[in-house]
Structure formats: structure tokens, C-alpha cells
Copies of this chain bind each other. A is one copy, B any other.
Amino acid sequence: MTRISVDAFEALIRDQLPLVELFGIRTVSIGEGLATLRMHYDPSLLRPGGTVAGPALMALADVAMYAVVLGLIGPVELAVTTNLSINFLRKPPPQDVVADARILKLGKRLAVAEVLLRTDASDDLVAHVTGTYSIPPERD
């Protein structure tokens, strides 16, 4: 069972994570250990060369991991990223970017997730991300 709905997750981040709005990030689905988010293309996301900037991709990946983790543990707002590692694989053209996140491990104290970033134009990945969230003990 998913412990946070798309609507509840979007409400949480709308109120408390304004960057998500700045980046045009929308939650598509949150499932059991899975989440899909989409970053709507806007010229403000570009970097030199006309491709989508790395910080926008990292923001999308981080929010996607937050979605997949809260989908498993519920609205524990103070779950925080402790570590994120991204490999940029291909330059993303000026288009929407889709993030598919999945949980690799859910422990009592740490959750590890993987995020694949791609565009609609190709199955080729634009980036691969892994990250760790720390789950606060107070949630019990």
C-alpha cells in the first residue's frame, strides 16, 4: 500500500518546497517502491549549449527520491537526503525530462533509491542517480 497519495505529496511540496514549482516538476505517480515525476520544459532550465542544466536534473531526481521514500513511509517531512550521486550520460535536449525512481533498500534508518532520467524522445538515459535518505527516529 502506498502511504502517500500523489495529491498529498504535491500539496506537501507546494507548501514547503518552492523549488519544485520553480522547476515545473509534477508528480505523475507514486506506487509501491516506485515513483514517476516529470519536469516540464521551460527555457529557464537551460545551460550553455542549449541543453537542460545539471542542477535541474539533480532537483528532479532528489524530489523523485523523496516521493518514492514518502510513498513507503508516509508523510515524514523530515526525511532528508544524506547522499546523492549522479552520472550525467547524455545531454538532454530542450524537452520535458521524466524521472523513474525505485527503492533499492528500505531500512529503519536509511532508504536507498535509484532514479533514471530520460526524455520522451528516446529510451536512452540522460542521467543515472542513486541517493540515500535518512529517516528520522521520531516517526514512531
Binding site for B on A (CB under 8 A): 12, 16-19, 22-23, 43-49, 53-56, 58-59, 62-63, 77-78, 80-91, 104-105, 109-110, 112, 114, 125, 128, 130, 132, 134
Partner of A88, one of B22, B81, B85: B81
Q: Would A87 and B55 count as touching, CB distance under 8 A?
A: no
The CA of A83 and the CA of B23, in the complex, are separated in Å by 21
**Contacting residues, chain B, for A53 (C-beta < 8 A):** 17, 19
Q: How far is the CB of A70 from chain B (nearest CB, A)?
A: 10
How many protomers of this protein does the assembly include?
Answer: 4
A105 to B125, CA, bound (A): 8
Smallest CB-CB separation from A49: which chain B residue? B78
Most buried by B among A78, A88, A128: A88
Do A109 and B84 have beta carbons less than 8 Å apart? no
**A132→B55 contact, CB < 8 A:** no
CB distance from A42 to the nearest CB of B (A): 9
* A112 near B85: Cβ-Cβ < 8 Å: no
Docked complex Cα distance between A83 and B130 (Å): 11
Complex Cα–Cα for A114 and B129 (A) = 11
